[in-house]
């Protein structure tokens, strides 16, 4: 081999070796920040993912719950103070990454400007449930019954959440005169509907399914694209002629925007490999989640499209932006 060719080959191997080293997952544990408390849906996703990444991220993944302000506190921390080196990520959800720009008048972070999408992890559908004492057995009967009520209360897990906008869209599309009651926690909301203090609510399928199966609640419709394995007898909103009420909550990893591209690629690869493992997929599904496993490009498109969609919903419902 000529000397110049040999030098070029050695230089190429050196570059490849350096690129491989840069693309490796971080050598220090990855801190996975989320804006919701232990036991919540995002927390379940985070802990299942952290456990599933033991092999793809040898340094380990540590879940760090930073609840408050509908997830804005955690998102602001990762956007503003986290080092862009791949060791701190946010497990964001649809509210923080797609709804917040329309529901907050002043948001302490910009999802489009401050974050680099890594991977969509999972999604979860909602069920519209009513107390067992409500006489309606299906959605058309419920809408007829609810229209005749002098006072109707629909519970939500908080203002500006998917369940809140689902309730607003249901009321607007059906002519219901319903008042939304926003609860501070999922526990408070579940207590209210189980005690018949509210007459309807969109709750995650995983959360409400045990109560439906025990006969304490009745599920009238699923918001997802297909029926849920947890409630296979319950039709989807689309099946019932309500396609506008097809929505779900999704969860995904984002890094600080300045994180180097090779580090982003390594984190994407490690996450997708973990999500492809049958064991993790089965545990996610048993917990009521649909595994997404979409990479950076597809996740960026999802965030963009969902931001536009929910902006239209917020405007249509007349929701006043949160200060």
Buried b (16+ CB within 10 A) or exposed e, 265-279: bbbbbbbbebbeeee
Q: What is the pLDDT of residues 80-123, one digit of tens each?
A: 999 999 999 999 999 999 999 999 888 999 999 999 999 999 99
Rounded to an integer, the average pLDDT of 192-205 is 95
Q: Please report the pLDDT score of residue 28 as a whole number.
A: 85
User: Quick check: 4 pLDDT over 70?
Assistant: no
Q: Please report the pLDDT score of residue 181 as a whole number.
A: 94
Q: CA-to-CA distance for 155 and 135, rounded, in angstroms?
A: 18
Q: What is the pLDDT of residues 258-304, one digit of tens each?
A: 999 999 999 999 999 999 999 999 999 989 899 999 999 999 999 99
Exposed, middle or buried, 285 (CB in 10 Å: 0-12/13-18/19+)?
middle
Q: Residue 26 has what DSSP assignment?
A: P
Smallest Cα–Cα separation from 231: which of 249, 216, 213, 214? Answer: 213
Tell whether the torsion through CA atoms of 272, 274, 277 and 279 is positive or negative. negative
In the chain, pLDDT over 90 holds for what percent of residues? 72
Please report how many Cα atoms fall inside a 13 Å half-sphere around the Cα of residue 170, on the Cβ side.
36
Rounded to an integer, the average pLDDT of 144-154 is 92
Q: Please report the pLDDT score of residue 25 as a whole number.
A: 63
Structure tokens at 64: 């760090």
User: Quick check: 8 pLDDT over 50?
Assistant: no
Exposed, middle or buried, 175 (CB in 10 Å: 0-12/13-18/19+)?
exposed
With beta carbons less than 8 A apart as the criterion, state whether 202 and 167 touch. Answer: yes
Q: Please report the pLDDT score of residue 21 as a whole number.
A: 39
Rounded to an integer, the average pLDDT of 6-14 is 39
Q: Please report the pLDDT score of residue 137 as a whole number.
A: 95
Q: Residue 245 has what DSSP assignment?
A: G
């Amino acid at each position: 081999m000529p000397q110049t060719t040999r030098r070029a080959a050695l230089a190429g191997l050196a570059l490849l070796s350096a690129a491989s080293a840069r693309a490796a997952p971080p050598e220090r544990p990855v801190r996975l920040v989320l804006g919701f408390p232990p036991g919540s849906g995002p927390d379940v996703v985070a802990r299942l993912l952290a456990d599933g990444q033991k092999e793809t991220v040898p340094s380990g993944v540590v879940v760090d719950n930073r609840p408050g302000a509908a997830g804005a506190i955690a998102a602001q921390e990762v956007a503003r103070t986290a080092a862009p080196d791949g060791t701190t990520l946010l497990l964001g959800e649809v509210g923080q990454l797609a709804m917040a720009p329309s529901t907050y008048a002043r948001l302490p972070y910009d999802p489009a400007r401050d974050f680099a999408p890594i991977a969509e992890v999972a999604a979860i559908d909602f069920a519209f449930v009513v107390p067992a004492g409500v006489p309606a057995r299906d959605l058309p009967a419920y809408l007829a019954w609810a229209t005749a009520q002098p006072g109707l209360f629909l519970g939500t897990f908080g203002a500006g959440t998917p369940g809140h906008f689902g309730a607003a869209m249901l009321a607007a599309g059906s002519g219901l005169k319903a008042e939304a009651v926003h609860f501070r926690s999922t526990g408070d909301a579940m207590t209210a509907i189980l005690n018949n203090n509210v007459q309807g609510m969109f709750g995650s399928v995983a959360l409400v399914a045990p109560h439906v199966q025990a006969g304490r609640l009745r599920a009238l419709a699923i918001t997802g694209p297909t029926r849920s394995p947890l409630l296979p007898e319950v039709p989807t909103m689309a099946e019932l002629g309500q396609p506008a009420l097809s929505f779900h909550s999704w969860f995904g990893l984002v890094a600080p925007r300045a994180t180097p591209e090779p580090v982003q690629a390594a984190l994407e690869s490690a996450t997708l490999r973990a999500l492809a493992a049958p064991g993790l997929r089965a545990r996610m599904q048993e917990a009521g989640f649909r595994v997404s496993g979409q990479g950076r490009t597809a996740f960026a498109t999802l965030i963009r499209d969902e931001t536009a969609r929910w902006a239209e919903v917020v405007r249509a419902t007349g929701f006043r932006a949160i200060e």
